[in-house]
A and B are shown apart, each in its own frame.
Chain A
């Protein structure tokens, strides 16, 4: 049996339901973020160790570790697919966040092509070409900060704002470590720390919140 209800009750139902749908955080929403946080941090730490332990001629080859990111993105694709399938609701915000990160991946790919092309094919002052490689980590961190800042606004989730600030600060620290300490290897440690503070910790908090939400 349907019960008749007043206009005020009707408005209350609309407001309550819209609010419930908007504040919905689902379990597993942050899995992808946590996975990327750990993998990038681990690769960065491994790269730091290799650069400092291998002989000079081999140390340069340790950067090839970053090709592992291609595999991690493939694994992430399957994680996302599994999460999406089990999702009981898809909000407009999910779509926005997905587009932000797709844009981020395209931007990173273009940035790497540009920097490598400039470093390899630069016809002037070849001895200074290392600067293009030195810029890779800070520029990637700046882009991560932009993406996370957008995500923070879309989700209205404060730890993501802090994560974005952490990446911006990290990018500045990378440059300072170069200029003041004259060390490029510290970039990897800074990146690893930023991934943990900016991705892993907010991701775990979000998943914990989602568990309580269920």
Chain B
């Protein structure tokens, strides 16, 4: 029986962001941009969506005069990612 995949995670860029954040403690916007090869605008929109859903926590700080965006995955995000992967396996089998 196929289980429904979380529509918020079943998007290439949002899934890439979550996969990166699940393997690190925290990551800067620059790091996510480098690894996903997404445009700043698109990445920013997808980060906002994940943040609104409570899957990630976004902290905005300053490094000198430069603004800095740091993201880290929340426990709700870990659970959602875990469920997504489990449900995904039902499609692969």
Contacts and interface: CB of A to CB of B under 8 A. Distances in A.
Interface of A: 2-3, 5, 7-11, 13-14, 16-18, 20-22, 24, 85-92, 94-95
A82 B91 CA distance: 46
A16 B88 CA distance: 16
Chain B interface SS verdict (over half): helix
A17 B16 contact: yes
- Interface size on B, as a range, is 20 to 34
Contact of A17 (B20, B26, B30): B20
Given A13-B15, A14-B19, A85 B63 contact: yes
Given A7-B88, A20-B20, A86-B63, A14 B15 contact: yes
A89 B27 contact: yes
Contacts of B27: 21, 88-90
A92 B24 contact: yes
A8 B22 contact: no
A95 B25 CA distance: 9
Given A90-B27, A91-B23, 7 more contacts: A5-B12, A7-B92, A10-B15, A17-B15, A18-B23, A86-B63, A90-B24
Interface in B60-93: 63, 85, 88, 91-92
A91 B36 CA distance: 17
A5 B85 CA distance: 15
B39 interface: no
The 10 closest A-B pairs by CB, nearest first: A17-B19, A88-B28, A88-B31, A21-B23, A7-B91, A89-B31, A89-B27, A90-B25, A14-B19, A91-B24
18 contacts: A5-B10, A7-B5, A7-B92, A10-B15, A13-B12, A16-B19, A17-B16, A17-B20, A17-B23, A17-B36, A18-B22, A20-B35, A21-B19, A24-B35, A85-B63, A89-B27, A89-B28, A92-B25
Contact of A21 (B12, B20, B88, B92): B20
Most buried by B among A5, A11, A87, A88: A88
Nearest to B36: A17
B39 to A, nearest CB: 13
A213 B13 CA distance: 22
B59 interface: no
A45 to B, nearest CB: 38
Interface in B16-67: 16, 19-20, 22-28, 30-31, 34-36, 63
A9 B12 contact: yes
Most buried by A among B24, B27, B36, B91: B24
Contact of A10 (B10, B28, B63): B10
A111 to B, nearest CB: 31
Nearest to B30: A88
